Structure 1
Amino acid sequence: MESPQEQWASTRAPSSRPASHKSTRSSPSARSQQSSRTTEQTPLLARDDRSDDGREEEPRTPATTSLLRTLSGSSGSGKGKTPIWKKRWPSILALAILCVVVVMIMLGFLASEGIEEYAMQAADFRPTKLALDGLVDQGANVHVEGDFTMDASKVKKTSVRNIGRFGTWIAREAETGAFDAHVYLPEYGNVLVGTAKIPSIKVNIRNGHTTHISFITSVQPGSPEGIRNVANEWIEGRLGQIRVKGKAEVPVKSGLINIGKQLVEHSMVLKGGDVPALPHYNITKLNIREAEGGRKGMGADATIVVQNDFPVEITLPSVAVDVLVDGCSSDKQVFVGTAETSQLEIKAKSDLQVNVTGNVDHLSESLTEACPNSAKSPLDAFIGDYMKGEDATIYINCCTFPDPDTPGWARELLKGIQVPVPVAGKQMGSLIKNFTMADMHFALPSPWAEPGTPEASPTISAVIVVDVGLPHEMNFPLDVNQVKADADIFYKGKKLGKMDMSKWQKANSTRIEAHGKEGPSLLVQSDIRKAPIEILDDDLFSEVVQALIFGGKGVMLDMEATVSVGVKTPMGKFAIRGIPAKGSVPVKRSDGKSRFDALNVAVGNLSIVETTPTSMTLQVHVNMTNPTNYSATVPFFSINIIVNGTVLGQALIKDMNVKPGNNTNLIATALWDPYTNSGAKGKEVGAEMLSQYISGFNTSITLQAHNGTIPAQPGLGNLMSKYPITLPAPHLSHPKDPNADPTEPDPDDDGREHFIKSATMHIISSTATFTLNSPFQRTTMFITHMNATAYYEEHPAGVILYDLPFAVPPGLSESPRIPVDWSGSSIGFGAIKKALGGQLKLTAFAHVGVRIGEWNEKIWFQGGKIGANVRF
């Protein structure tokens, strides 16, 4: 019989089948004599029943034999052999320890920081619906729906990610019991924002699997005051970031394993784009009307579409708010009126249409009165920003709830919250459709005004007509009862000056209803009086003057004004300031006539009011035609009278009013003082000019402004001096012969007035008398001496040398008989004798001394075609 060693050894030889099937078990005697070393046939666990019952074991299958061989050491039996399990116990212990460690790691991961870190980073909950299920006394029931997913790719640490995926794959599902979740704000004194009661939730926690969750939670608000503080900072834009901490004890189990309550705390920082902003909105309809339902003041109906990008469904009760605007100080708002909404049905991710009704009973003084150190009121500032296209801000003070069933916590929570709402401005440049001025009246400043003061500026009076386009939203009675404006004047796009109409002027208005494509408008008319004009660009003004005087057409001045109007509305009287307006004012020239011919100047009633040895002050009545549509008031105006470049005197105007069309009996004054103005040369030029003038020659004078032309505006006078005007010396109108028939023209009249009207020659007495035509109405002048020669067809007829003064009274007068030395043998004297008893035409040339009051001058005179009667 083969030994056991030989048997196990044989099994090591290559064979297609295990050799153990061919071996037989050893006898009981052999088994009782085993050694400390076991064989491959020895089982790991002793089977005592084999020796107890004495039965023979069943034959082993090949798989059993192979497993025994694998678990056994080297084959062999015999005495002194130890059991295999004693020899392999380190491997068994290591395997057991490894299994225990894996289980501990799994449990540690599920119940320690590992699972917390994995769960916090991998868990992803996307809400799909948030609906208010109802308001209760202590809070609100909120229906929450969403999708829960574990996304391992969001876990930063590789070890946590790998272990987490393995552990959640093993666990597959996790279920939380009901718990309370508390939300705090650590940076605001750890104020409690609210508490949510979360029911039991079961989710699939394997990576990539999504579980749809739907549950109803009861939300109880925390500290109202703390919530309001945070809300106000968020609304005011001062909430750059906010730290939120959530805390809950969550009972967790996975399958049959109850992990127990886990304290979960998690903080997150919301900053920048993470903090949701106020939703966008658009005012799609606005109607301002009279108040209804017996209320005073005005009402407004508005429709606002609010963009809702959130999965939120809420039914909000009716809300009433106060509406305010900025006051005089930036930290104070002024009450305007109230607004109220109906019940709102908010649908998830659907734009919300809000219908708002507002009422303004009256406007308080703090809203309409000008602020300290300012010309504008809070209402002016608000309307001004709006009309300039800038955002105007209104403030909503929340809230009151008309519905008595609204819980008290909601009233307490929202009480005192103020929401600034920017109202997108509307460019109102076209609000003023037209801005024109008519019946303009210009006035120069008083000569006593101090230069540089408002009183020293020229002024304008006119009728302002403003066509105000009314927005379609304004459907209430509106009446304008006063107006004022500040206007900038432009010429060819450059700023010429300013017109100050800062004083309130009475106005009236007429509403013009909409017609065709034109909307409704308000035609405002106001008479402005003495609005100062300040010239800012002298060179540009020079261009305007040049264009008016020398150009063929008028000029177009553009005006940009800031208009303020006083209005009367159903809510009271107030002013709206700072309305922008634009318009053009054509400044027309006269018609196609010459700029001087169109004036039709006629000078008469000349009188001397004052004389000195070198000067005369003359007063004349002027008739003229103003070819423009503008009137003017001239309190004082001085202009130099120049002949051949020499200043001979000044023409003065005081308190003259010129109206459009014919102007009669305008009084002007001229100071004739050549010597004082230009010395000996002036005296010489003055005498020559007077000689030519009284002789009927075509003389001209130049009028030129100077620094003193307008005493209060020396700069304006200096500017005007660049444009001297040369015009013919005006003809003096002489008094007519009272005995003459006014309907019959003088056949010898050549259109000019002559100083010597006619002469009578007395041949026997060798004397002559002259009929003189004085241009003066009340002044008597004297001829102090005369050296004259009479001519007939250029042949001398007689000479007069006379040194006795004689008077020439106003109007027509006859001189005394003046001795004549006849030229006896001359052709001229022969012609006189032939005309005895008749008349002939003579010419004369004389040097004459003239005295008027204290003034004396020597001039020459040349008269032509003087009608001379010849008598014995």
Structure 2
Amino acid sequence: MADDSTAPLLSRASTDSRDTSYSHKQHQQQRPDSPSFQLSSESTPLLRHEDAYGISYGTENRRRSSASVSSNPLWPIEDPSKRPRYRQWPIVIAITTLLAAVILTLVFGFAAPSAVKQYAQEAAVFKPQRISLDSATSEGISIRVQGEFSLDGSRVRQPLVRGTGRFATWIAKEVETGKTEVDVYLPEYDNALLGRAFLPAIKVDIREGHSNSIDIVAGLQSGDVAGIRQVADDWMNGRLARLRVQGTADVNIRSGILKFGSQAITADLALTEKDIPALPSFSIDKLNVHENPWNPKDPGIAVEVAVSISNDYALSVVIPPLGFDILLPNCIPTDPHILVAKVTTETVNVQPAAPAIVDVSGLVRRLPSELTRVCPGKKDSPLDLIISAYLKEHKTVIYVRGGNPPSASTPGWMVDLLKSVTIPVPVTGHDFGQLIKNFSMTDVHFSLPDPVAEPNSPEAQPKISAMVKVMVELPEEMNFDVDIPHVRANVGVYYEDDKFGILDLSEWQPSNASRIDDPDSTRPLLLVSFEIKDGPLQVTDNDVFSQVVQSILFGNDPVELDLQALVDGEIATTLGQFIIHDIPAQGSINVKPPFGSRPIGSLIKPRVESFEILHTTQSTISLQATVNFSNPTPYSASIPYIDCLMLYNGTALAHVTGRSLSVVPGDNIGVVFEALWSPLAAGADIGVIAGRELLSNYISGLNTTVTLQAHEGSLPGLPDLGKALSGISVNVSVPKLGTPGDGQGDDDDDEGSPHFIKDATLHLWSSTAVFTLTSPLRHSTLYIDKIDATAFYNHTEPIGRIDYELPFAVPPGDSETPRLPVALDLGGVGYDAVRRALGGTLMMDAKAKVGVTLSEYSTTVFYQGRGIGAKVRI
């Protein structure tokens, strides 16, 4: 309650006569011998503000005093003609000026009551030089007023009044008043009694132009507390643009030996906005919040604050210890404010024109239930609203009201008056967005949506599970334990400033917080860790999401994802538990590309362990494959259902489907996939051709690469995500043909022995050949319907030709063909090589057009085999 002493917090001081100095000429101002006393009740909020220049509040736009700063307690008030006109301590000055006018009116009332009173009121000039609070008692205070008093007839507007007044004062020369009691009222506030002054006897020279040195000590007593409170409220809220005061008194007057008896005097004084000061500014020099140091067993939070309060006035004051109540706003402005703490101040020595340093301390034992109770019709409590505004750097208001003082020596009237006034203190909050020092996620697990879920429902969203660790730098003033048992949030996920998703953590997640030491940080650190369990990720921008996935899968540099969240936290402190809503938070996650520039297929290393034909038609094959592969990433995933297209040279040939997949980092063994081979349906006639080429290269043992690509139907419950993933393709090398599980699929030698034809035996006498074939199928029999093949020696020299149209079976594993007739080329180089190899083995190549049938499915493939070892027999 800054500068409440500017109001007439007046006391019923002793009315005993005090030594008073008078002079009929100009004299030097004298230094007072007694210490001065200033009534003040400044208090401050318990929240820190970072503004190095302090916080101003109340009537900020009013013109502030610019009195010269001096350490001299007798610094004079300058001549108004040499500086802008304003008044220091206007309420007190107003009273003293009013009293001067009252005295003059009383003095001249004996001669011409009407004209002389008007002359006295208009001609009186009082120039205050120093005002100080002399002493305090249990009933009030004594104020010492020093200045110059004179009459200036030129200020009187009416010539008749001016002439009458000048003549009367020339005749009287000097007058003397007895002890006087003056009441000062507020006509514009229901005529409330502002205060009462007890003046000593005064003798002055009343001749025009003669200066009187005034040095008096007056007893002051406060008046109607309710009226003073109305004035104070208007002043603190910036509504006091004008103030009118009225003084009344009954004074005994004498001039020389003439006594004129008691005269009733009334005088008015109007203060304009420039006469009314603004509330002082303040800055918080120190703030320390910690556990109760006086009694560790007594729960509570102790607050210690050092506040610097501006003082532009030439006043010397000693402020006794005071008590204040700290209140916070309720749900709506009309609700009673909520008391949260009681604080006290030490004795404050205020020096003239120098900032006052006030030490404030208090103890918060508990948080009132009404502070944490949710407001009607809202999700926030009063505490939520206050903290949310503070963290968002919005201006919030706390209230300071006089309370019980810590010392019995503080005058009771002072305490009562302070209790009647409540000061609103606007406070602008911190930006806490930069306090997050580190944000990390480990044990990340992705879950794709349920395929039978309703589209765009929560069950149809991909989910993320992870352990989250957040390193928070706390304000250095916070020196008490804080725990965060639960958190929840809605997190916006951004890539290069573009939002592509929302991570929904609206369900409470268990968490905990602990302080840690970090030599690189000057602030205390709080490590908050919590586990995300199946948090839905709603993709809001498919194009951006596709860019993110491609950058992660195919990029070389870490991908930075920005997070912007509104967090609800359950806070546990010594004062109890409460919930804070919508705390703004931001952070980032660096995702290191797991593959870098290396092909994904080479890192996944898929190997088919087995095939099993499930069903066939004339144009399709439905099969099940058991595959082993590696996951080089640190992430795991649960995939209820996913479907991808398999393409060869850009043409779709099949659908590959995974159901209830659980992928873990490292080796994944025995993972089952289903595939539907359907070249005609997937790619029409081009698909049939591409499918034939793929099967031909496959059985020929050539290096073959297929492409897996998502599509809009990859995730039935999340078509938008499937569409976003459709821009991503993964090339996978098809393992070479071999008996499932025999390890031959790892053979990368293009010149190695073919896998489909294991070996051959050529019988010259019968001109037939028998081949040992290896089938990739463990449970189904493959039929060869027709063979049109040619064997070559040294890659180009024909040996013979097989043209066979009778079907024969190729069962699982290794099997021999029937004796197939061979038309030998007897006149060629190849036949000579065959004769030389009789009884031994001849290496030869083969090219063949083969018709095959698998149950109802039939097709034709082209086989090329190199380095087939054929035994030559009679």
Q: TM-score, normalised by structure 2?
A: 0.77
Aligned to 1:680: 685
Please tell me the residue identity of whatever aligns with 2:621.
Answer: M
Aligned positions of 1:330-349 closer than 5 A? 330-332=333-335, 333-344=337-348, 346=350, 349=353
In structure 2, the residue matched to 1:147 is 147
Aligned to 2:248: 247
For the residues of structure 2 that align with 1:212 and 1:513, how far apart are their CA atoms?
A: 68
* Aligned position for 1:648: 653
Residue 16 (structure 2) aligns with: none
The answer to whether the Cα contact below 8 Å between 1:132 and 1:315 also exists between their aligned partners in 2 is no
Spell out the pairing of 1:758-769 with structure 2 (5 A cutoff): 758-769=759-770
> Please, which moves more after superposition, 674-683 or 450-459?
450-459
Residues 469-523 of structure 1 deviation map (CA, whole Å, 9 limit, x = unaligned): 2323222233344444444444344445443444333334342347476232222
Aligned to 1:638: 643
Q: Structure 1 pair 713/266, CA: closer, same or farther in 2 (3 Å)? A: farther
For the structure 1 residues 800 and 134, does the alpha-carbon distance in structure 2 shift closer, same or farther, using more than 3 Å as the test?
same
Aligned position for 1:129: 131
Report SS of the residue matched to 2:137: strand
Please tell me whether residue 819 in structure 1 is matched to residue 820 in structure 2: yes
Cα distance between partner residues in 2 of 1:831 and 1:347: 122
1:623 and 2:625 are equivalent in the alignment = no
2:811 aligns with 809
Match in the other structure for 1:658: 663
Equivalent position amino acid for 1:559 in 2: L
Partner residue of 1:157?
Answer: 157
**Helix, strand or coil for the counterpart of 2:684?**
helix
Q: Which residue number in structure 2 is paired with residue 322 of structure 1?
A: 325
Counterpart in 2 of 1:757?
758
* Counterpart selection for 1:835 from 825, 831, 837: 837
Native 8 Å contact 2:327 2:338 kept in 1: yes
The 2-side partners of 1:843 and 1:276 are apart by 109
State how far apart, in whole Å, the 1-side matches of 2:520 and 2:169 are.
Answer: 74
SS at match of 1:112: helix
| Alignment partners' CA distance in 2, 1:288 and 1:253 | 64
SS state of the match for residue 188, structure 1? Answer: coil
CA 1:224–1:683 in 2, change beyond 3 Å: closer, same or farther? same
* Native 8 Å contact 1:176 1:200 kept in 2: yes
Amino acid at match of 1:442: F
Change (3 A) 1:320 1:609: farther
**Aligned-pair distance for 1:372?**
5.2
The percent of aligned pairs where both chains have the same amino acid is 38
CA gap of 1:864–1:539, structure 2 versus 1, over 3 A, is: same
Deviations 1:532-572 (A, max 9, x none): 33444444444444544554433233334455544432222
Q: CA deviation at 1:783?
A: 2.7
Relative distance call for 1:513 and 1:241 in structure 2 (3 A) is: farther
Shift of 1:132: 5.8
Equivalent AA in structure 2 for residue 308 of structure 1: N
One-letter code aligned to 1:329: I
Find the counterpart in structure 1 of residue 522 from structure 2.
518
Relative to structure 1, is the Cα distance of residues 748 and 724 closer, same or farther in structure 2, using a 3 angstrom cutoff? closer
Name the structure 1 match of 2:480. 476
- Of 791-800 and 663-672, more deviation after overlay is shown by 791-800
Provide the secondary structure at the position in 1 that maps to 2:194.
Answer: strand
The CA distance in 1 between the partners of 2:595 and 2:682, in whole Å, is 37
Deviation per CA, 1:7-45, whole angstroms, max 9, x where unpaired?
xxxxxxxxxxxxxxxxxxxxxxxxxxxxxxxxxxxxxxx
Instruction: From the superposition, tell whether residues 736 and 647 of structure 1 become closer, same or farther in structure 2 (CA, over 3 Å).
Output: closer
Letter in 2 for 1:152: D
Deviations 1:333-383 (A, max 9, x none): 333222223455555555333222211112234333554565544333333
String of CA shifts for 1:798-845, please: whole Å, max 9, x gaps.
4444444443333x2213414314336353456445434322223333
Partner of 2:308: 305
Structure with more contact order per residue of length (Cα contacts < 8 Å, sep ≥ 6): 2
Deviation by residue 1:168-224 (Cα, 9 ceiling, x = unmatched): 566544433333322223333222233223332233445555434333434343333
Q: Which amino acid aligns with 1:464?
A: V
**In structure 2, what residue type is equivalent to 1:773?**
T
Residue type at the aligned position of 2:757: I
Counterpart in the other structure of 2:197:
196
Note if 1:111 corresponds to 2:117: no
1:235 Cα deviation from its structure 2 partner: 3.6
Alpha-carbon separation, structure 2, partners of 1:169 and 1:498: 91
Q: In the alignment, what sits opposite 1:185?
A: 186
User: After superposition, what is the alpha-carbon deviation per residue over 1:580-609, rounded to whole angstroms, capped at 9, x for unaligned?
Assistant: 544442222246652335524222123333
Question: Cα 1:377–1:608, aligned 2, differ >3 Å: closer, same or farther?
Answer: farther
Mark the structure with the bigger radius of gyration. Answer: 1
Q: Is the 8 A contact 2:553 2:594 kept in 1?
A: no
How far apart in 2 are the matches of 1:553 and 1:752? 42
The aligned counterpart of 2:91 is none
Aligned residues: 759
Q: Unmatched 5+ residue regions in structure 1?
A: 1-105
Structure 2: distance between partners of 1:647 and 1:582: 43
1:279 aligned onto 2:274:
no
Q: Distance in 2 between matches of 1:267 and 1:851?
A: 120
Correspondence list, 1:468-617, <5 A: 468-513=472-517, 515=519, 518-576=522-580, 578-590=582-594, 594-596=598-600, 598-604=602-608, 605-617=610-622
CA distance in 1, matches of 2:686, 2:748: 41
Unaligned runs of 5+ in 2: 1-107
* 1:140 Cα deviation from its structure 2 partner: 1.3
Deviation at 1:410, TM superposition (A): 4.7
Aligned mates of 1:815, 1:287 — CA distance in 2:
91
Distance verdict in 2 for CA 1:342–1:772, change over 3 Å: same
How far, CA to CA, are the matches of 1:361 and 1:648 in structure 2?
Answer: 73
Residue matched to 1:211: 212
| Aligned-partner Cα distance in 2 for 1:208–1:572 | 72
Contact kept in structure 1, 2:321 and 2:406, CA below 8 Å: yes
For residue 400 of structure 2, what is the amino acid of its counterpart?
A: I
Whether 2:690 is the aligned partner of 1:689: answer no
Which whole-Å CA distance do the structure 2 matches of 1:478 and 1:512 have between them? 12
C-alpha RMSD of the superposition? 3.7
Shift of 1:694: 1.8
Paired residues for 1:16-55 under 5 Å: none
Cα distance 1:251–1:500, how it changes in 2: closer, same or farther (>3 A)?
Answer: farther
CA distance in structure 1 between the partners assigned to 2:722 and 2:602 by the alignment: 24
> Aligned letter for 1:217?
A
Q: Aligned AA for 2:308?
A: V
1:400 and 2:404 aligned: yes
User: 2:656, 2:675 within 8 Å by CA — same for their partners in 1?
Assistant: yes
Query: 1:17 maps to which residue?
Result: none
Relative to structure 1, the CA distance from residue 727 to residue 403 in structure 2 (aligned partners, 3 Å threshold; closer, same or farther) is closer
For residues 399-443 of structure 1, the C-alpha deviation after alignment (integer angstroms, 9 at most, x for no partner) is 224555766655554445332223453443443222233443333
Look up the match of 1:99: none
Cα gap change, 1:181 to 1:573, in 2 (>3 Å):
same
1:844 aligns with 846
- 3-state SS of paired residue (2:690): helix
Q: Measured at CA, do residues 123 and 833 of structure 1 come closer, stay the same or move farther in structure 2, by a change above 3 Å?
A: same
Amino acid at match of 1:459: K
1:176 corresponds to 2:181 = no
What per-residue deviation string (whole Å, max 9, x for no partner) do you get for residues 80-138 of structure 1?
A: xxxxxxxxxxxxxxxxxxxxxxxxxx9898632464255246433526223163334xx
Q: Which residue does 2:867 correspond to in 1?
A: 865
Query: Cα–Cα, structure 1 residues 228 and 653, in superposed 2: closer, same or farther, change >3 Å?
Result: same
Give the aligned partner of residue 778 of structure 1: 779
Q: In 2, distance between residues paired with 1:720 and 1:109?
A: 106
CA distance in 1, matches of 2:250, 2:304: 51
Q: Which residue of 2 aligns with 1:65?
A: none
